[in-house]
Amino acid sequence: MSARLGDAQPGEGTTNARLGDPVWRATAVTGLVLLVALLLALGAHDRGPRVAAVALAVGTLPAVALVLAPRAVRRLRGDEGRSLLLALPVAALALALLIAAGLDGRRDVLLLAVTALGAAAGVVLIGSELRQRTASAGRRAARTPWQRLTTVERVRSLPWQAGAGALLVGWSALVGIGIVGPRLSGSGIAWTVLLIVLIGLGALVLVLVPLLVGAAARGDRDRLAQAREDERLRVGAHLHDSVLQTLALVQRQASDPAAVARLARGQERALRAWMAGEAELDAATLAGALHATVEEVEDQEEVEVEATVLGDRPLDEPGRALVAAAREALRNAARHAPGSAVVVFAELSPHGAAVWVRDEGDGFDLAQVPAERRGVRDAIVGRMAGVGGEAAIDSSPGEGTEVALRLGDAIERSAGA
């Protein structure tokens, strides 16, 4: 329910969510501090470069410590480090210049450091905007109901981050040119040409960045629409092959209630598995193989099995033995407890597996099992022992029967319990 509401009203909620987010608050505060420090530094440079350098350092350090460093660590851990990798050399240059300014006290070096820092921040901003825009559309498409239920939707309508980034880069370029230009030797014309080229490039960046961002967003929308259409076709094809087919069969066999019930049950099971995303897994995993086995026994023995499988693991040799033992146990339950429901519960993990098959039948006294049933029991126990597993049969007259099959760490856990 909250998911649907969340989708409908992104506007106000995101502002509040942002103000409540400590990371966002820290970023805003350090940004303000940096801005004030920059103003101070620019105003104070007449009083001596050292004062300005101190003011700058005061502003810069929290920005680096609180915002850039944590972000860098987080991004570099994921695969999203590109914008930062771009900005890091510029930031390193800025730091070097800052140190140089502190050492030799010339205000031009200081200003260069400021502009380099500004450019670095601009690159980070542009990169982060592009990343968010390209990632969010893909992520929305991949959402499961649970994700929609538990994650806060973040929607930005205007590329303000990229705009601010472009402004910062442009400003840095202009200031940098202003500082470096007069020092360059050579004729005034060469310098003017260089200036024009640089300003032209800056303007190009200003124009192109919003366009690129817009194009990326549009591309995402198109891909999303395409994905929806593909999904609709896929669902349609599946329903056609399965549900419609079964409905046709049901209409033709309407006179045979048993057949209709069997068809309906089989289709129901298949549809559930498909909705749970299990159809693709097929019998390649232990969970898929268990479901397939339950289905097979249900059809052969005309018994109803309620099977719940938690977790999964690849289907290996021990897993196949487990499935075979489970099939044996299910058949046994179906034959010796006719009419009673059979419950299968499985807990699977990469390190182990435990499967319980339980019926509500008459049960029996294990000590007085006739020889032919002992054979079945040996088939179950022997199969599991053959792959290093374990099988336990728990039954007493009038109390039903439960067969427990275990592999891997499930054996130790049951021994410890």
Partner 1 sequence: MTADDGQRPARAERPLVAIVDDHHLFRAGVRAELAEACEVVGEAATPAEAIAMIGAAAPQVVLLDVHLPDGGGLAVLEAFRGVAGAPAFLALSVSDAAEDVVPMVRAGARGYVTKTIETPALLDAIARVRDGEPYFSPRLAAFVLQAFSAPEEEADDELDQLTPREREVLHHLARGYPYKRIAQRLGISPRTVESHVGSVLRKLQLSSRHELSHWAATRGLVGREE
Q: Which of residues 100-139 bind partner 1 (CB under 8 A)?
A: 139
**314 lines the binding site for partner 1 (CB under 8 A):** no
Per-residue CA distances from 254 to 165, 258, 310 (Å): 69, 10, 36
The DSSP bridge partners found for residue 405 are: 355, 391
Min dist. Cβ of residue 265 to partner 1 (A): 9
Q: How far apart are the first and last CA of the chain?
A: 40
**Residue 285 DSSP symbol:** B
- What are the structure tokens assigned to 223, written together? 């891909």
Min dist. Cβ of residue 308 to partner 1 (A): 4
The residue assigned the tokens 């980034």 is 165
Mapped onto helix, strand or coil, the DSSP state of residue 307 is strand
**245 lines the binding site for partner 1 (CB under 8 A):** no
Among the listed residues 126, 153, 137, the one whose alpha carbon sits nearest the alpha carbon of residue 4? 153
Q: Looking at 7, 229, 230, 399, which residue binds partner 1 (CB under 8 A)?
A: 399
Closest CB to partner 1 among residues 108, 301? 301
**364 lines the binding site for partner 1 (CB under 8 A):** no
**22 lines the binding site for partner 1 (CB under 8 A):** no
Q: Looking at 25, 50, 74, 221, which residue binds partner 1 (CB under 8 A)?
A: 74
**11 lines the binding site for partner 1 (CB under 8 A):** no
Q: Residue 21 region, left (φ>0) first, then alpha (ψ -120 to 50), else beta?
A: beta
Q: Which of residues 319-358 bind partner 1 (CB under 8 A)?
A: 341-343, 345, 356, 358
From 118-126, 152-160, 220-228, 306-314, span contacting partner 1 (CB under 8 A): 306-314
**371 lines the binding site for partner 1 (CB under 8 A):** no
Q: Looking at 142, 258, 367, 415, which residue binds partner 1 (CB under 8 A)?
A: 142
**299 lines the binding site for partner 1 (CB under 8 A):** no
Please classify residue 307 by burial: count the beta carbons closer than 10 Å to its beta carbon, then call 0-12 exposed, 13-18 middle and 19+ buried: buried
- What are the structure tokens assigned to 26, written together? 């820290």
Q: Looking at 19, 25, 32, 150, which residue binds partner 1 (CB under 8 A)?
A: 150
Q: Spell 29-53 as b/e; 16+ CB within 10 A means b.
A: ebeebbeebbebbbebbeeebeebb
- What are the structure tokens assigned to 401, written together? 């029967």
Binding interface with partner 1 (CB under 8 A): 1, 74, 78, 80, 139, 142, 144-147, 149-151, 268, 272, 275-276, 306, 308, 310-311, 341-343, 345, 356, 358, 360, 399-400, 402
